[in-house]
Amino acid sequence: MTKGRVTLVACALLLMLLTVSFSGCLEQTPVNERPVVKIDYPNDGVTVSGIVIFSGTAFDPDGNDSLLTVEVKVDDGKWLEAYGDGNWSFELDTSLYSDGKHEFYTRAFDNVSYSENVELTFFVDNSDKFEDVHRWAVFVATANRLDVKVKLGNGGLVLAEEMASYFINNFSYPANHITILFDDGWVRANNGEGERVVTLQERPERLTGVSYGAATLDTVKSILNSVVETANQYDDSEVFIWLFNHGVGDPENKLTGGKVLEHSEILVWDGVLSDYQLGDILNPLQAKLCLIVDACYSGGFANRVVFNLPTLLNSGLPEKGRIVITGASKFTTGYASTVTGPLFTQLWFNGIKTGQADGFRKGVFEKGRATHLRFFKDGKVSVEEAFYFARYMLTTKEFKDYRSMQPQMNDRYPGNPPVGNRGEMFLGT
């Protein structure tokens, strides 16, 4: 019995030694830590209207860059993928939701586990305190697309906000009737050259009451469709639309930009918007309209080639009761400052806000000319006067390097030429 016990004890000790010896070779499966997500904007309990951009941050505590997506949902809706991961955002059109209380949820996924859901309560209030004022403005600027080498900086956003502020204070446009769409909804460092820093709505300098969003093709179409639908409900509606970005053309073709038998096109954040596509969107609009497209090779939006000559291709935009203006002809390039925005719009807007454009007329070849006759000066500046002022400024010594732009205008306000358009369009009236 003693010998047997010794044998059993020896075997047990040997097994323990073997277990200890080989245990260091066994691989242990690492425990995955769930990712973490936060909502930085807006604050819990906020009341919102128009477009609201939810934004936040997410990270993977494992530190192995395995964070894949951030997802969001509203109320009991479907989970949708947010824009970005580490710094994420999600644009919500609150007009699609009923007024009142709603819940916003977000979560992150690292290919193994979801984070805990993070929740925010918000209240929608799209009641219109200015429903008796029938004026709407939409400003669209795309300047810093990641796939375009030449960035146009944040000047387009600066100019859009300057014009919007002026329209609010001088033309009685309600702030909640104005929408500004810029890039992907974010402002980037180094004047557009760097990384995303802050969403448009989080900036302290944002215009109170104005709706901000990304200049994506879907958002542009959605906002314009909404404006068309609303403006058509009233007989005295006024709509102002401004678009700015690179135009599509061939800079190596100095004579025509390769646009002889092609429609004019302008880039938006995630695509291209052609003149006839914009024409289709605005075709149902029955309101007074001033449309400015400030981009290279943009003349086709006004059905103009160069020297005010008509195009072979019809955009469908110029119609009775409208003025369509482009910052360049269909065959020429435009110019812009990365700090203050596109040159033509700067000149046009400066003529309005300073009053210097009062009394300006077509002149020879529609280059614009000042007048010394008091008869033509009424203390106000029309859309047309501001256009001829900008054309005139491009002939001066100060702007001689930009004379080739040749901005175009198709004036069909209040009716079709040559007789119907003898009136002038004054914004805010």
β partners of residue 108: 70
d(CA 109, CA 124): 28
Between β-strands 135-141 and 178-182, what pairing exists: parallel, antiparallel or unpaired?
parallel
Question: Using CA atoms in the order 17, 20, 22, 24, what is the torsion angle rounded to 10 degrees?
Answer: -160
* Structure confidence at residue 31 (pLDDT): 72
**Going by C-beta distance under 8 Å and a sequence separation of 6 or more, which residues neighbour residue 331?**
255, 256, 257, 259, 297, 299, 305, 306
Distance of CA 290 to the CA centre of its chain: 18
**Going by C-beta distance under 8 Å and a sequence separation of 6 or more, which residues neighbour residue 316?**
275, 276, 279, 280, 282, 283
Between β-strands 46-48 and 322-326, what pairing exists: parallel, antiparallel or unpaired?
unpaired
Between β-strands 186-188 and 271-274, what pairing exists: parallel, antiparallel or unpaired?
unpaired
> What does each C-alpha distance from 73 to 82, 107, 170 come to in angstroms?
9, 9, 40
* Structure confidence at residue 188 (pLDDT): 96
- Per run of 10 residues, the mean pLDDT along the chain (length 429 residues) is 48 45 50 88 96 94 74 97 93 96 96 93 94 97 95 97 98 97 97 95 95 97 97 97 96 87 95 98 98 97 91 94 97 96 98 95 80 77 96 94 94 84 89
Domains of the chain with CATH codes? 36-124 (2.60.40.10), 135-412 (3.40.50.1460)
Structure tokens at 407: 């901005």
Structure tokens at 352: 């309005």
DSSP 368-387: -B----GGG--S---HHHHH
- Three-class SS of 44-97: CCEEECCEEEEEEEEECCCCCCCCCEEEEEECCCCCEECECCCEEEEEEEHHHC
Structure tokens at 120: 């925010």
* Structure confidence at residue 45 (pLDDT): 97
Any idea which residue has 């219109």 for tokens?
Answer: 128
d(CA 233, CA 317): 20
> What does each C-alpha distance from 331 to 98, 318, 399 come to in angstroms?
47, 19, 19
The answer to whether the predicted template modeling score (pTM) of the entire model surpasses 0.75 is: yes
* 254 phi/psi in degrees, rounded to 5: -70, -25
Measured in residues, the chain has a length of 429
> What does each C-alpha distance from 330 to 27, 291, 401, 403, 412 come to in angstroms?
68, 16, 19, 15, 19
* 133 phi/psi in degrees, rounded to 5: -105, 115
